[in-house]
Structure formats: structure tokens, C-alpha cells
Amino acid sequence: MSNPSILILPGDGIGPEVMAEVRKIISWYGDNRGLAFDVSEDLVGGAAYDAHGTPLHDDTMTKAQEVDAVLLGAVGGPKYDNLDFSVKPERGLLRLRKEMDLFANLRPAQCFDALADFSSLKKDVVAGLDIMIVRELTSGIYFGEPRGIFEEGNERVGINTQRYTESEIERVARSAFELARRRGNKVCSMEKANVMESGILWREVVQKVHDEEYADVELSHMYADAGAMQLCRWPKQFDVIVTDNLFGDLLSDAAAMLTGSLGMLPSASLGAPMANGRPKALYEPVHGSAPDIAGEGKANPIACVLSFAMALRYSFDQGAEADRLEQAVEKVLADGVRTADLLGEEGVTPVSTSEMGDAIIAALNASL
């Protein structure tokens, strides 16, 4: 039986640095836990444009469709700001999401106790926070037609169309309910059914899926603007939030900052099951390419490491090993080991990107 396969796309900026630490951890699992992976690497984003004149080569897209999971670092940077929109680095990531049909974006917002003081909210509001936002990723206003900038009379008009089919809502709702069954068994669906017809359809379809297939899961509905307010007021009231592409984009970024650092947050984008039963999947940190610190050893690799933990859990059915890795990260933070983005308190040990990776490896060794 062949090993599960991973395609690594380090990307731009700090992407190669943080991904190097993930490679060390992947090797550790092969050496110490009998979890060997067939790992290949390719280019995406600006790096792919520099080499091929496109942010994602067709051959790379083919590889991404064939492997069990894709791990991506980050894309973009000021070097590429003046490129035509069609070849900007971000188009490579969007192509991966669209052609792999990665319709469910999982964005956890978890606040480790050791980092509760880094949040802009009071410690008792965020300490122990562990919620998941499930964002529909391949439809909605970012993809609906008609769209564009048009001449209308003597002025221009910008048009974007919010569009959802029942089947698109059904499948992301099922992802949220299935996820809730593995967590706190509670889902809050967010839309704007008070002012948007697409929101009315969203609410009706989510309720129907719940009533027919997931009556054991607690379901509530909330307008997305009220949801944003509640995330800032008392985020621990939520377990799983499911929402559309636009609101998911906004709400997940708001939730991200509850934890104090974008350098801490992973994400998973999941699609339909493949022949082997595993979902097509892409895992990536929430943070960007941070070109201002690239090559300086200041980047925090934890978000990328935790993205691999999500891969262990959702692509490779290794929940216990995902827990092991997450607990190793938690121990390192509790011991006061910090990269540059997490400094500012007394008694901490500042470390470089590679030293943080080494500290996580040491914590993994201690877990054996």
C-alpha cells in the first residue's frame, strides 16, 4: 500500500521559511510514529510567475488534483503589484480552490491560554476560545455573474452578483453539521435574510438539511452583522459557524484577531471525497507572505504547523496525532518560547523561525 501523498507549495515571502519547519515535522512523524508521506514540491504565486510566467502552471494544477493533500505557504508581495490582474500571485491560489472545487473553508479561531493577553479583548472573554468558522468558498458574490465595471449613461457602475444554488448551500451545511458532531454539536448559520433573497434561501436550505439529516445537532440562525457583534462580545457562545463566501471572509478575519496573532491561525479548504474516501484538500496558514521580514528568520511557523495538524485530522484520519502536534505547540507556548510577533511580555524566550520548529520537535519527542 502506497504512502499518502502531499504536495508542498511554499509560495512567496516567508512561505518557504515556515514550510521548512513543517517539513521537519513531517519527517519526525515518519521517523517516530510510522506515518510516512510521499512529499513533492512545486511553485505557486509569484515564484511560479517568475519561473513560468503564470501563477500556477498547468502541470502543478494536475499534481494538486492527484495528491491526497496540498500544503501551501503564502503568495504575493509588492514585487508583483503591477502585474495584470490575470497573472497576479493570488490567482494561483484562487485557481487551486476553484478547480479542486474546495467549497468548504475551515477557519479555526483558537486562543491558547499562554497567549490570551495578546488579544485586544479581555482575557476572560478569549481564554480557552475554540470555535470554527465554515465559509463557503467557491460561489457567492466573488464568483456570481454578471460582474464587472460598465458604462451606464454618463458614469461607470460596478456590479457583483450574489448567487447561490440550493445544492451549493446544502453541501457546505453538511460539512458544518458533520464537523459539529465531532466538536460541541452546535451550529450557528449566519446570513442577511432580512435584506437579501440569497440570505432567505440560505436560511431555508440550512434549516431543511438540519431537519432532515442532522436533527441531533443544535442549530441557530443569526444575521451576519449581529454575528460580528457577538463575536466581539462573547465569542465562546459559538462552536461552529457556517456562512457564505463574503460574510465568511469578513467574520473569519474578525475572529482571527480575537486570538492575538495571525501568525497562529491555520485553515483547511475541503472538497468532495476522492476515490479513496478522503476529501480533496488544501491547507494553508491564514497569514500572508510578509515580504518585509522574509529571509530574516522572524516568521512564526506555528500557523503552518497547525495547518499540517489539520491535514492529519481531516485528510489522513490521524486525530490522535493531530492532538499530539497541537499539544506540542501549546506546551512550547506555555514554556514562554516566542517568535518576534509574540514578544512583549517578561520572562519569554525569543527564538527564530527554525528555533521555533526545533522547540516543537523537542515537545513532540517529550510526548513519546
The CATH number for 194's domain is 3.40.718.10
Is 265 in the same domain as 254?
Answer: no
In a domain? residue 116 = no
The whole-number pLDDT of residue 254 equals: 86
CA 262 to CA 147: how far, in whole Å? 31
Best CA proximity match to 237, nearest among 258, 207, 268, 260: 258
In a domain? residue 345 = yes
Is 141 in the same domain as 91?
Answer: no
Is 302 in the same domain as 343?
Answer: yes
The residues annotated as belonging to the active site are: 142, 192, 225, 249, 253
In a domain? residue 244 = yes
Is 70 in the same domain as 159?
Answer: no
Is 79 in the same domain as 189?
Answer: no
Is 305 in the same domain as 291?
Answer: yes
Is 254 in the same domain as 267?
Answer: no
**Dihedral pair phi/psi, residue 2, rounded to 5°:** -75, 155
Is 64 in the same domain as 23?
Answer: yes
In a domain? residue 28 = yes
Q: What is the per-residue pLDDT across 162-200, written as a single tens digit (0 to 9) for each?
A: 999 999 999 999 999 999 999 999 999 999 999 999 999
**Could you list the residue range(s) of the whole structural domain that residue 293 is in?**
1-110+261-368
Is 142 in the same domain as 245?
Answer: yes
Other C-beta atoms closer than 10 Å to the C-beta of 196 total 14
Residue that is last in its domain, among 258, 286, 321? 258
In a domain? residue 118 = no
In a domain? residue 1 = yes
The two beta strands, 279-285 and 266-273, are antiparallel
CA 325 to CA 305: how far, in whole Å? 8
Is 240 in the same domain as 278?
Answer: no
Is 53 in the same domain as 8?
Answer: yes
In a domain? residue 124 = no
Structural domains of the chain, count: 2
pLDDT tens series, the chain, 368 aa:
689 999 999 999 999 999 999 999 999 999 999 999 999 999 999 999 999 999 999 999 999 999 999 999 999 999 999 999 899 999 999 899 989 999 999 999 988 888 888 888 888 888 889 999 999 999 999 999 999 999 999 999 999 999 999 999 999 999 999 999 999 999 999 999 999 999 999 999 999 999 999 999 999 999 999 999 999 999 999 999 999 999 999 999 888 878 766 678 899 999 988 777 788 999 999 889 999 999 999 999 999 999 999 999 999 999 999 999 999 999 999 999 999 888 877 778 999 999 999 999 999 999 99
Is 331 in the same domain as 360?
Answer: yes
